[in-house]
Every structure is written in C-alpha cells, then in structure tokens.
Chains A and B, each alone.
Chain A
Amino acid sequence: MKVPEGLYYSKEHEWVRVVDGRAFIGITDYAQESLGEIVFVELPEVGSMLDAGDVLGVVESVKAASDVYAPIAGKVVEVNEALADDPALLNNDPYENWLAVLEITDDSMLEDLMDASGYEAFCAEEE
C-alpha cells in the first residue's frame, strides 16, 4: 500500500495535497484497493461550497458505491473531468488522479488530518 509523504490524510481515506492555497482532493491507495474496480465517479459542481464532512462525490465500484467526503471546507474551483471518461484512473494511480480542487477557507482545518505515518498506523488498525 502506497502512502506518499507530504500529503494530509483523513479517516475516510481521502488525501489532500496543498498547492498555493488550493487543496487537491483524492482517494487513497487503501481506498481504491478496498473498492476494487472503479466504474463510475460522480463529481461535485464547480462553485459549490462544502463544509468539512460534506459529500464531495461518489465513487462506484463493481462492489459498492461510496461517498467521498470533503476533508476540509472550501469552494470547489475545479473537478477532474477525465475521471468521467475513465474512472479506472483511480485504480491505476490514486495519488495522481485527484477528484476536485478546493479553495481553502481555513488552513487550521488541515491540522485535524493525519500525516503519512499517522495514516499508515490508522490503516493498520483498520485491517
């Protein structure tokens, strides 16, 4: 299981990469592995405001349809349309293929998330 350094991780198995005040959100390797073959991704609307914990989208595999939650609050400024055509990108490289970009409203929310080693320990407990 890959858990890259430098990202923030949530207990719902999302990752956050911060670039110039904007947060790229995706699902972790652990998440894609548990879901299995992903067949559909539902993305949020650009411009919508999300609170931390709001549903950001839905990832559907052959086994289940799971909600993806916003790990932090923010305004959706961009979504990854490529996933609509090729949902399997999430299986191939979950850290390259983000779902949405949020404009961060409150930096301090990142402090509630885990770092790579914290998340790795969390996953080990989940197993």
Chain B
Amino acid sequence: MHRYIPNTGEQREEMLREIGVSGIEELFADIPGSIRLKRELDLPEALSEMELVRHLKELAGRNISTDEYTCFLGAGAYDHYIPSVVQHLVRRQEFYTAYTPYQPEISQGTLQAIFEYQTMICSLTGMDVSNASMYDGATAVAESAAMACRATGRAGVIVARTVHPQSREVLKTYFRYTGRSITEWGHKDGRLDPGELERLLSDDTAAVIVQNPNFFGLIEDIGGISDMVHNNGSLLIVSCNPISLALLKPPGDLGADIAVGEGQPLGNPLSFGGPYLGFMAAKEKFMRKMPGRIAGETRDRQGRRGYVLTIQTREQHIRREKATSNICSNHALNALAAAVYLSALGKNGLKKVAELCCRKARYAYDGLLKTGAFSPAFPGPFFNEFTVRYHRDIDMLNDSLLEHRIIGGYPLERDYPELKGAWLVAVTEKRTRQEIDNFVERAGSL
C-alpha cells in the first residue's frame, strides 16, 4: 500500500467490481482522448519520509523568524508574547482536528468556546453582539461595509485613507461589479479631517469607515465625527486594534455602529501572514444584517445550559444569493486562541500589555528622535506604533538592520507615494530595553 493513498489495489478492484465497471479505463471513458495527458506527470521521484523531512527542514530554515530576529515591524500584525497555555489548549485534538460544525449542536465545546470569544469581543469593543469571527481584519472591514449598505439601503461608503491599505484593497475587490461605490477620504497631518468628511457625505452614504489607531499609528478623534455621520443617516464603522482597547475608549462608547478589526494580536502568531481572524461586533439593531454565525446560550428541555448556532438561516447554504455574505464559516481555531489569550491575561493583564506597548513605543520614539537621524512625521498621540521621517534611503536602512538581526519598520511610501521617507515602527511588550537601545543605536548611526 502506498503511504499517501489509503486503499490497496485489491480494494480498488473491489470498488470497480461493485459499481460494475471492468477497470479504470472504463471508469474514465467519458473523458475525451483529446484532453487526456498521455504521459507521466513531470515530477521528481517521490522522497522517503526521512528525505522529505530533511528537505522541508532545509526549506523552512531559509526563513527568518521572530525567534532569532528582533521585530519592529507592525503595520497590522504584531509580535506579542503568547502565553504557552494558548497553544496547549488550541492544539487539543478536540479543537484542532474538528472542521466547522455542520451539525453544530453536537459540538458543545466548540460552541461554548465561540460563545465565550463573542462575549469577550463585545466587552472589548463595547458592542452588543459579536459574530463567531471572520477570515481576517481586511475581510471584516469589507463585510462590515456590505452590511452597512444592506442596513441602510444605500450604496456608497466613505473610507479614510488612514485605514489599512490592504483593508481598502479587499473592500475594492468586494465592491467591484456590485454597483456600490467607495470614496476615499484624505487625511490632515496623518489624522481624520472632519471638514473634508462634511463635503463628502451624501444621501447615498451608507457608512463611514475609520481605523483607530490608524495605519500611521495615530489615535483618532472618533467621537468628533460620530454625530456628523449619524446626522447624515450613515453608519460609523471603526476598525481597531483589540489590544489598544484595554486603554482606549471602546468604539461602542464613541458612537460606532459596527466595530471590526484584525484579531491576530490576541494570541495568534505572526506565521508569515496568516491564518489570522477578523472580529466583528455591532449594536443589537444590526444583528440580523450581520454576516456569519453567532453562537448562543440556551437551556435544554431539562433546564441544563447548552449552546446553539443561531442566525445561520441568513447564511449562504440556506439563503443562497440572498445571504448576508458568501462566507459561511469562521476562523474557529484562531478565535479560540484569542479567547484563551484573553482569559489567560484577564482584564488587568491585557491592560498591562497595552501599557507596556504604549510606554515602550514612546521610549523608542524619543530615542530615535534623539539620534538626529529621524524627525517626527505627524503630531498627535500614538499607541504601540509611530511614524518617523528618515532623511536617507529607508530600504538601505532596513537592509542594514536585517544584517544585525533586526526587522525594521514599514516604509509608508509603498502605499502613500506622498510620504517619502516615512517609517512606521511598532514596539510591543516583548521588546526589552536592551533591544530597543540596540535598535535605536543601529538605526541612528547608519
């Protein structure tokens, strides 16, 4: 028997006999000869298990990771410490090997974990109802925009240019061919410009999408635009970093109707870009416009606590083209990691992480400015990430840091041609004073 094919030649013969065909040739008789490949696949010889493991290790060894390198790169995904309990629980086979529950109520443990995740997301965001999670922060932003169009019966959204460029890209992809429109809204000194928003709002504006802290790391004045958006009959969508919510006022308290964001900072490793999770929470009145499913708590016939999957009736496998979204799933394992992370840290632990990020980022910022090689890019407060201007070549700076096993900041010019020399630097609680000092010294002395 072949290692990767789970049946024997004898079993295949038996199956062919059972369905009444003489052999493989007859089974594939419907495939015309003209489109058949009449040779072996052009593949190298199969490797033995030992050879394969060696080969894969060699490939993996060519990657660089945050285990060996000190990371100051953020731009949407952050190198936080993950308590070991997170992986221990996530890797339990009851969670790890199970696929999305199609007969959900049989998986009470999965549903309970999702329910607890939702409860924590609601507490963090100050919202009434959270779904079971989405694919990532960018899809959550795009889905929330579509949700606002359904809820308001309008077809236009205004998105701030200070929202993550990848979220805006995904939003554009989602809205292509739907008859819905996207207007980008510029910034003033790196932050929202209420004056411009006033001019952009129209009768057809379903929602205004902002991010806090924004892509440049700056903390926005969300409360300052909330009334303007609502007086126009539009919804306010806030994309946020969940860890920042331990310190900042939650979007629900600032007038947001829908809160979304990238959930990776909560107990999910960087993993070269994914899988991550998107979170989405809303005010109760938008519950039935929300994409995805929600786990709910209830009582069974004997009065015992139990969990169910609700609002599935609005999903694609039941409502077809009228579904709230074409996403019929969630990132359960990543959401579980987020829930375990939040439980392990607790309210005070999360606050401590957020404070450390904030203080260490300020320490690094001041240090960089002191070297004289950098200048401030924008005025205004920041959380765990900030932008400085470098007066020479940023790519050379990053290459040189990499030689010293430091992953440098993100060059904003890639997405904002007007921000030449702007360098986005993230500092998490993981960075030690020594690491920051070393980084500042190297960066300042090039």
Contact = CB atoms under 8 A, between A and B. Distances in A.
Given A40-B288, A42-B288, A60 B313 contact: yes
Contacts of B57: none
Interface residues of B, number: 6
Interface stretch (A24-32, A62-70, A110-118): A62-70
Contacts of B288: 40, 42, 60
Contacts of A62: 313
Contacts of A105: none
B322 interface: yes
A38 to B, nearest CB: 11
Best-buried of B313, B314, B318, B322 by chain A (most CB within 10 Å): B313
Given A40-B288, A42-B288, A61 B322 contact: no
Which of under 10, 10 to 19, 20 to 34, or 35 or more describes the interface residues of A? under 10
Interface in B296-336: 313-314, 318-319, 322
Best-buried of A64, A65, A67 by chain B (most CB within 10 Å): A65
Contacts of A67: 322
Contacts of A63: 313
B154 to A, nearest CB: 14
Interface secondary structure of A, over-half rule: strand
Nearest to B308: A62
Contacts, number: 17
B96 to A, nearest CB: 30
B282 to A, nearest CB: 16
A63 B312 CA distance: 9
A64 B318 contact: yes
A63 B318 CA distance: 9
A100 B313 CA distance: 23
Contacts of B319: 64-65
A40 B319 CA distance: 15
A44 to B, nearest CB: 11
Nearest to B324: A65
A31 B319 CA distance: 17
A70 to B, nearest CB: 16
Interface string A48-70: 00000000000011111101000
A42 B322 CA distance: 14
Interface string A9-50: 000000000000000000000000000000010100000000
Contacts of A61: 313
A42 B306 CA distance: 27
Contacts of B313: 60-65
A67 B314 CA distance: 11
Nearest to A40: B288
Contacts of B318: 64-65
Contacts of B314: 60, 65
Contacts of A42: 288
A61 B318 CA distance: 12
A22 B320 CA distance: 33
Contacts of A40: 288
A65 B319 CA distance: 7
A114 to B, nearest CB: 25
Nearest to A60: B313
Contacts of B322: 65, 67
A40 B314 CA distance: 12
Nearest to B153: A45
A60 B322 CA distance: 13
A67 B313 CA distance: 12
A81 to B, nearest CB: 15
B286 to A, nearest CB: 12
Nearest to A42: B288
Contacts of A64: 313, 318-319
Contacts of A65: 313-314, 318-319, 322
A61 B319 CA distance: 12
A127 B58 CA distance: 64
Interface string B256-288: 000000000000000000000000000000001
Interface of B: 288, 313-314, 318-319, 322
17 contacts: A40-B288, A42-B288, A60-B288, A60-B313, A60-B314, A61-B313, A62-B313, A63-B313, A64-B313, A64-B318, A64-B319, A65-B313, A65-B314, A65-B318, A65-B319, A65-B322, A67-B322
Interface pairs A-B: 7 shortest CB-CB:
A65-B313, A64-B313, A65-B314, A60-B313, A64-B318, A65-B319, A40-B288
Given A60-B313, A61-B313, A65-B318, 14 more contacts: A40-B288, A42-B288, A60-B288, A60-B314, A62-B313, A63-B313, A64-B313, A64-B318, A64-B319, A65-B313, A65-B314, A65-B319, A65-B322, A67-B322
